Amino acid sequence: MIETSYRRILIPTDGSENTRAAVAYALDLARQTDAKVTAISVNDISNYAAIPGEPDAESPLYQASQAAIGDAIEMGAAKGVRVEGMIVSGIPKRDIVEASKDHDLVVMGTTGRTGLPHLLLGSVAERVVRKAYCPVIVVRTGVTSSFKCDRILIATDGSENSAPAVREGLNLARAFGAQVTALSVSDDTGLPAAGRGSAEGRVLASEAVAEVENEGRKLGIEVTPSVPTGSPDDAIVDASTEHDLLVMGTHGRSGLAHLRMGSVAERVIRFARCPVMVVKGHHDR
């Protein structure tokens, strides 16, 4: 068994095919770490405005939540993992965040029954990523359904707001014996051609990865630095191809929430080629 700080894992599910990858991924992690697992399905009461009746056990929507939990329990049994089910009649983005108070990690997908991207402003996944009381791993459909942690990519800009993500990534690497790459992008977007690849930008990025290297040495972890130049979201997505897990924060140097439409973090989560762990920055705490 591998010792981590994730003793209690929360898995939001609606039973759709689009959430099964995240459920399987979380169960695989729990199996390796002997973590306790809770599968939560929120019977969205806002749907009852258009559907006659109350959110009771006889309603089709409530029964869909029951089926989702039953499916997660069966998947867990197949992996030797006991899953506790939780059905809540309420508002998904509110009640999943509330449930995260009692857990160390949330693992969820980016799409639900509709198949539409949920990482849109005001959506369930976006809200949970920003407001959860613990780290959140987002698993995109089609990326993977098996937990693997041999190669970790830590994206950082060296700010205080990215420090919690750096610590989380390094602790994971120590637990799983993973190789670590620290990436900081010298952002030249919006600059004229003559100003791209500026010395100042590269210095800041180099200092950011040097901080991760230093923290890694304290834990006996060798960190490989990477300082590409270009668009941050494109560079991070490209680098994710060669890693099993990407760890990043929700805030950057500006201190403004980056999980808004068009932001770096939102785009990375939607297009990364591996699961993404998002760790709240100090301004979100």
Backbone angles phi, psi at 182, to 5 degrees: -100, 125
Tell me if domain 8-139 and domain 151-284 are identical in fold: yes
Neighbouring-strand partners of residue 277:
137, 247
The pLDDT of residue 112 is 55
The whole-chain average pLDDT of the chain stands at 86
What angle do the packed helices 92-99 and 124-131 form, to 10 degrees?
A: 30
The domain at 8-139 falls in which architecture?
3-Layer(aba) Sandwich (3.40)
pLDDT tens sequence across 124-146: 888 898 899 999 999 988 888 89
The 10 Å Cβ neighbour count of residue 50 is 6
Cα distance between residue 34 and residue 31, in whole Å: 5
pLDDT of residue 46: 80
In the CATH scheme, what is the code of domain 151-284? 3.40.50.620
Q: Which sequence spans correspond to the domains of the chain?
A: 8-139, 151-284
pLDDT at 262: 38
pLDDT at residue 61 in the model: 84
- Token pair 């979201």 is found at 233
Residue 114 pLDDT: 52
Please list the rounded mean pLDDT of every run of 10 residues in the chain (285 residues). Answer: 94 88 96 97 78 64 92 97 96 94 95 49 75 94 91 94 94 97 84 53 92 97 96 94 94 48 73 94 59
3-state secondary structure of 219: coil
The pLDDT, as a whole number, for residue 265 is: 79
